[in-house]
Structure 1
Amino acid sequence: MPSKPLRIATVNVNGIRAAYRKGMGAWLDARDVDILALQEVRASTEDLQGLLGPEWDVVHDPATAKGRAGVAIASRHPRAEIHRVELGAADFDSAGRWLEADYEVDGTVVTVVSAYVHSGEAGTEKQDAKYTFLDAMEARLPRLTAHSAYAVVMGDLNVGHRKLDIRNWKGNVKKAGFLPEERAYFDRILGAEDDPRYNDGAGLGWVDVGRKAAGEVDGPYTWWSWRGQAFDNDTGWRIDYQLASPELAATVKNYAVDRAAAYDERWSDHSPVVVDYAL
């Protein structure tokens, strides 16, 4: 009898303590997740472990500045190894933004990365920091696939790759998150959309699982502003990804964005991205 698929989820919790107060725990209890990547944890490791419970193996990389950023991975599978990789030059602070860990799943080692790319701000030092991080991320990706055939980089990557990924793309072409220079990184990772092998072996060969599953449609979006009617009108951005190595992508059985049923049921401004992998 075949084992059940490995269910991997990622979500920017926008502060895990606040997310739990608003209902995150009920979602997690019902979703049967095996490995969970979190971004913007904004809490101590003790707080994080206490909220998730003792059944989860938790690794956490907090940001240098207390109450900011922070990435974590929680798993129900044995952890084989953890790599807290510092991206970029020695003087670049990447704490709380990139965390790697290996997990053994039915005899197969799966490498998981929880990533939180800077939001940036066009024409400022914040944008410079974002490009420094994206440069380091691009350089790291080939090393990941050399390390493990089964690898997934997931999280809030804060870039909409294509027009399909942002409802109001025309109004954002000069803003951080949809700048041509940012989108070019994803062209190099996944291939440009006019490349016949886009998202199927082009670029560095990684696969955008969400776009592969959804096809050439708007969204499905993963982030909506708290302000105005953005959520109700589905005026969102698809900036939360699971980027899988080709071998792991070939095992995908299901992809879902767990969008809340109503505005007042949201526990983060992001929705979880959940993928089933049949290893």
Structure 2
Amino acid sequence: MFKLTSLNLNGIRSATTKGVEAWIAATGPDCICVQEVKAQAADVRGRFEQLAGLQGHFHFAEKKGYSGVAVYSKHVPSEVVTGYGSAEFDAEGRYVELRFDTPTRKLSVISCYFPSGSSGELRQQAKFRFLAEFLPHLARLKATREFILCGDVNIAHREMDLKNWRSNQKNSGFLPEERAWMTHLLARADLDPLAADGLGLVDVYRLLQPDTTDTAYTWWSNRGQAYANNVGWRLDYHLATPATAALARSEHIYKDVKFSDHAPLTVEYDMVI
């Protein structure tokens, strides 16, 4: 089995003070994709190159204390790709891809941090630009290889994916345009004749748990008593090509210890790297 975890750390230094490294050691994932590292190479050197024996591969933001992603892996990749070729967003440290290629298989594990538009209209417009250019990148990738994209997508796709959906319909993360983008990402032409140009990726959590609501959340605002009252959002995903998604056997959202404002999402796949 291949155990893969995704977690927005909201700062690697903060998360490690809250015990995330011991948790990784105890749960033993093959890879953990992390977002919002909020550190640069100099901060990582000598302390965070490895976590619990897993080797880290990073894409840092140019801006200090901002964004940044990594994949920590127990397996040596055949290639590491940082950034996806964006003139605007690669400087923000949002994409790292580990390729595990063999003569019979091409597989990528990706950690990605989608922009948030919650700070205002300028960032919401940046988020729309990211979505517009990222979809063709994923389409090109899907045409050549299998992949699992893990990350904080900053979009709750459906009404069942957040507690207060009615009052959030005009808020970033649940805007109609964002939700339509997710629908397009997941649409399959073989199942829906109106989805001929859909990308056909699979929301792996929903494949395994199609009906869960309150237990599906992975993010809670730090305002008020959101976490205590489970007023949450499902923002963290495994998005996989169909053949790889079909190998998913179990999922788990870990909430016993709070390492950040997000919870780790783990999926086990019936495959070996």
- TM over 0.5, yes or no? yes
Cα RMSD (Å) of the superposition? Answer: 2.5
5+ residue gaps, structure 2: none
Amino acid across the alignment from 1:268 = S
Within 5 Å, which residues of 2 pair with 1:4-23? 5-23=1-19
Partner of 1:81: 79
Partner of 1:117: 114
1:259·1:271 contact (CA, 8 Å) conserved in 2?
Answer: yes
Cα gap change, 1:86/1:196 in structure 2, threshold over 3 Å: closer, same or farther?
closer
Partner of 2:123: 126
Paired-residue identity, %: 38
Partner of 1:145: 142
1:42 aligns with 2:44: no
Whole-angstrom CA distance in 1 between matches of 2:250 and 2:43: 31
1:253·1:276 contact (CA, 8 Å) conserved in 2?
Answer: yes
Q: Secondary structure at the match of 1:26?
A: helix
Cα gap change, 1:201/1:59 in structure 2, threshold over 3 Å: closer, same or farther?
farther
Partner of 2:241: 245
Whole-angstrom CA distance in 2 between matches of 1:249 and 1:39: 22
TM-score (norm: length of structure 1) = 0.87
5+ residue gaps, structure 1: none
In structure 2, which of residues 66, 69, 72 is the aligned counterpart of residue 68 of structure 1? 66
2:40·2:61 contact (CA, 8 Å) conserved in 1?
Answer: no
Aligned residues, how many? 266
Whole-angstrom CA distance in 2 between matches of 1:106 and 1:76: 20
1:206·1:243 contact (CA, 8 Å) conserved in 2?
Answer: yes
Shift of 1:112: 1.2
2:51·2:72 contact (CA, 8 Å) conserved in 1?
Answer: no
Cα gap change, 1:155/1:134 in structure 2, threshold over 3 Å: closer, same or farther?
same
In structure 2, which of residues 199, 202, 207 is the aligned counterpart of residue 204 of structure 1? 199
In structure 1, which of residues 55, 58, 61 is the aligned counterpart of residue 56 of structure 2? 58
2:21·2:51 contact (CA, 8 Å) conserved in 1?
Answer: no
Partner of 2:260: 268
Partner of 1:278: 270
TM-score (norm: length of structure 2) = 0.89
2:24·2:52 contact (CA, 8 Å) conserved in 1?
Answer: no
Stretches (4+) displaced over 2 A? 44-57, 85-88, 90-95, 103-110, 195-198, 200-203
Q: Secondary structure at the match of 1:79?
A: coil
